[in-house]
Amino acid sequence: MPTVRETHIENRFRVQPNHANSNGTLHGGNLMKWLDELAGMAAMRFAGETCVTAQVNSLAFERPIQIGDTALVEAYVYDAGKTSVHVALRAKRENPRTGETEKTTESSFTFVAIDEDGSPVQVPDLTVDTEEGERLRQRAIEADY
């Protein structure tokens, strides 16, 4: 059975002018795309199947990410149903020169595992086998997605 830690993925995206909105900060739609891509990878790593976005459960933009900053996106599976996979997400702005970070966004997406015909398929049970995995799972649950 897959563990929370095995589904944990982080990626960095350099925020360029073509990613910006009229305020000169990262456009929310671009960040949502990055969140969805990383969440999908975590869901597929967990399910061992193709997973498609079923729902954005929550999405809170707390502060902007500036052009020139790095968007640091983190995703991991924190719960699962029969065919559904719940992924917690967090984005931070990262200063590329210093490595200093600040949380900007929290979110949760639900995915459904599908077969080649697009029909839902069962996913495995989620295992929490380390203190770090339990900390991540509790963080997601307490965020009340």
Q: One digit per residue, pLDDT tens: the chain, 145 residues?
A: 899 999 999 999 999 999 999 999 999 999 999 999 999 999 999 999 999 999 999 999 999 999 999 999 999 999 999 999 999 999 999 999 999 999 999 999 999 999 999 999 999 999 998 999 999 999 998 886 6
pTM: 0.94
Residue 110: which H helix or E strand, with range?
Answer: strand 101-114
Report residue 27 CA to chain centroid gap: 17
Q: Which of 1, 73, 3 is nearest to 40 (CA)?
A: 73
Number of separate domains in the chain: 1
List C-alpha distances in Å: 136 to 37, 88, 98, 131, 141. Answer: 20, 9, 25, 9, 9
CATH number of the domain enclosing 17: 3.10.129.10
Q: What is the CB-side half-sphere exposure of residue 19 using CA atoms within 13 A?
A: 20
**Predicted pLDDT at 42:** 98
- Where in the sequence is the domain holding 38, given as residue range(s)? 4-142
* Nearest-angstrom CA–CA distance, 15 and 34: 11
Q: Which residue has the tokens 């350099």?
A: 14
Q: What is the CB-side half-sphere exposure of residue 33 using CA atoms within 13 A?
A: 7
**Predicted pLDDT at 16:** 98
Q: Reading across the β-sheet that carries 101-114, which strands appear in turn?
A: 9-14, 70-80, 84-94, 101-114, 50-61
* Nearest-angstrom CA–CA distance, 110 and 80: 9
Do 117 and 57 touch, CB atoms closer than 8 A?
Answer: no
